[in-house]
Amino acid sequence: MSEEKKNDNKLFCNGKYDLVVTIVNKGDGEIVLRASKKAGAEGGTVMYGRGTGIREKGSIMGIPIEPEKEIIFTLINQDKTELVLKSIIESVDLNQPGAGIVFVLEVKHLAGICHLFNTG
Protein backbone atom coordinates (compact mmCIF):
# COMPACT_ATOMS: atom_id res chain seq x y z
CA MET A 1 0.00 0.00 0.00
CA SER A 2 1.39 3.40 -0.92
CA GLU A 3 2.31 5.99 1.72
CA GLU A 4 -0.39 8.30 0.34
CA LYS A 5 -3.07 5.65 0.86
CA LYS A 6 -1.91 4.98 4.43
CA ASN A 7 -2.15 8.69 5.27
CA ASP A 8 -5.39 9.54 3.44
CA ASN A 9 -6.87 10.90 6.65
CA LYS A 10 -4.17 13.62 6.64
CA LEU A 11 -5.18 14.77 3.15
CA PHE A 12 -8.60 16.04 4.22
CA CYS A 13 -9.99 18.11 7.07
CA ASN A 14 -11.52 16.04 9.85
CA GLY A 15 -15.12 16.81 10.71
CA LYS A 16 -18.40 17.58 8.99
CA TYR A 17 -18.80 20.70 6.88
CA ASP A 18 -21.48 22.52 4.94
CA LEU A 19 -21.31 24.91 2.03
CA VAL A 20 -23.76 27.77 2.35
CA VAL A 21 -24.55 29.24 -1.07
CA THR A 22 -26.26 32.63 -1.07
CA ILE A 23 -27.42 34.43 -4.22
CA VAL A 24 -28.39 38.07 -3.74
CA ASN A 25 -28.72 41.26 -5.73
CA LYS A 26 -25.51 43.08 -6.59
CA GLY A 27 -24.42 45.19 -3.65
CA ASP A 28 -25.76 42.85 -0.95
CA GLY A 29 -22.80 40.46 -0.96
CA GLU A 30 -20.83 42.46 1.60
CA ILE A 31 -23.84 42.45 3.93
CA VAL A 32 -24.03 38.65 3.65
CA LEU A 33 -20.30 38.28 4.35
CA ARG A 34 -20.50 40.47 7.45
CA ALA A 35 -23.55 38.57 8.73
CA SER A 36 -21.96 35.15 8.22
CA LYS A 37 -18.72 36.22 9.92
CA LYS A 38 -20.69 37.67 12.85
CA ALA A 39 -22.37 34.25 13.21
CA GLY A 40 -19.05 32.38 13.28
CA ALA A 41 -17.94 31.81 9.69
CA GLU A 42 -14.28 32.45 8.89
CA GLY A 43 -14.96 34.18 5.56
CA GLY A 44 -16.42 33.55 2.14
CA THR A 45 -15.91 33.75 -1.59
CA VAL A 46 -17.93 36.10 -3.81
CA MET A 47 -18.61 35.48 -7.49
CA TYR A 48 -20.66 37.57 -9.85
CA GLY A 49 -23.42 36.39 -12.13
CA ARG A 50 -26.64 37.25 -13.88
CA GLY A 51 -30.04 36.00 -12.91
CA THR A 52 -33.40 35.55 -14.45
CA GLY A 53 -36.61 34.82 -12.65
CA ILE A 54 -40.27 35.56 -12.50
CA ARG A 55 -39.71 38.70 -10.42
CA GLU A 56 -36.80 40.13 -12.39
CA LYS A 57 -38.47 41.51 -15.45
CA GLY A 58 -37.63 44.85 -16.87
CA SER A 59 -36.29 46.64 -19.88
CA ILE A 60 -34.82 49.91 -20.97
CA MET A 61 -36.02 51.13 -24.35
CA GLY A 62 -37.14 47.61 -25.22
CA ILE A 63 -33.84 45.97 -24.27
CA PRO A 64 -34.30 43.31 -21.57
CA ILE A 65 -32.36 43.83 -18.34
CA GLU A 66 -30.57 40.84 -16.84
CA PRO A 67 -30.16 41.55 -13.13
CA GLU A 68 -26.64 41.30 -11.75
CA LYS A 69 -26.17 38.95 -8.80
CA GLU A 70 -23.55 38.19 -6.18
CA ILE A 71 -23.04 34.55 -5.25
CA ILE A 72 -21.42 33.98 -1.87
CA PHE A 73 -19.87 30.61 -0.96
CA THR A 74 -19.28 30.05 2.76
CA LEU A 75 -17.70 26.86 4.13
CA ILE A 76 -18.52 26.18 7.77
CA ASN A 77 -18.52 23.47 10.40
CA GLN A 78 -21.95 21.85 10.45
CA ASP A 79 -22.44 22.85 14.07
CA LYS A 80 -22.57 26.50 12.93
CA THR A 81 -24.89 26.02 9.95
CA GLU A 82 -28.20 27.07 11.51
CA LEU A 83 -26.74 30.15 13.19
CA VAL A 84 -24.97 31.32 10.00
CA LEU A 85 -28.05 30.58 7.88
CA LYS A 86 -30.33 32.54 10.20
CA SER A 87 -27.92 35.48 10.26
CA ILE A 88 -27.74 35.58 6.45
CA ILE A 89 -31.52 35.37 6.04
CA GLU A 90 -32.09 38.21 8.50
CA SER A 91 -29.29 40.41 7.13
CA VAL A 92 -30.77 40.81 3.64
CA ASP A 93 -34.38 39.86 4.49
CA LEU A 94 -34.41 36.78 2.27
CA ASN A 95 -38.01 36.03 3.23
CA GLN A 96 -39.08 38.89 0.97
CA PRO A 97 -39.83 38.09 -2.71
CA GLY A 98 -36.95 38.92 -5.04
CA ALA A 99 -34.40 39.42 -2.24
CA GLY A 100 -32.40 36.31 -3.12
CA ILE A 101 -31.98 32.70 -2.09
CA VAL A 102 -29.78 30.69 0.20
CA PHE A 103 -29.23 26.94 0.36
CA VAL A 104 -26.89 24.52 2.10
CA LEU A 105 -24.93 21.61 0.63
CA GLU A 106 -23.15 18.98 2.70
CA VAL A 107 -19.44 18.77 1.92
CA LYS A 108 -18.01 15.25 1.75
CA HIS A 109 -14.31 16.14 1.52
CA LEU A 110 -12.43 19.33 2.26
CA ALA A 111 -8.75 20.27 1.92
CA GLY A 112 -6.68 23.40 1.62
CA ILE A 113 -8.18 25.38 4.49
CA CYS A 114 -8.09 22.83 7.28
CA HIS A 115 -6.08 25.25 9.43
CA LEU A 116 -9.23 27.39 9.76
CA PHE A 117 -11.29 24.50 11.09
CA ASN A 118 -8.90 22.37 13.11
CA THR A 119 -8.47 23.94 16.51
CA GLY A 120 -6.78 21.02 18.23
Domain boundaries, the chain: 14-111
Written in H, E and C, the secondary structure of the chain is CCHHHHCHHHCCCCCCEEEEEEEEECCCHHHHHHHHHHCCCCCCEEEEEECCCCCCCCEECCEECCCEEEEEEEEEEHHHHHHHHHHHHHHCCCCCCCCEEEEEEEECCCCCCHHHHCCC
What's the pLDDT score for residue 7? 47
Length of the chain: 120
| Residue-level pLDDT at 15 | 80
CATH number of 14-111: 3.30.70.120
Q: What does the pLDDT look like over 35-82, one tens digit per residue? A: 999 999 999 999 998 876 655 556 666 665 567 899 999 999 999 999
pLDDT band at 108 (very low <50, low <70, confident <90, very high): confident
* pLDDT tier for residue 117 given thresholds of 50, 70 and 90: low
How far is residue 93's CA from residue 113's CA, in Å, rounded to a whole number?
A: 30
pLDDT, averaged across the chain: 82
* Contact predicate 96/25, CB 8 Å: no
CB-side neighbour CA atoms (13 Å) of 53:
15
pTM: 0.78
What's the per-residue H, E or C state across 56-81?
CCCEECCEECCCEEEEEEEEEEHHHH
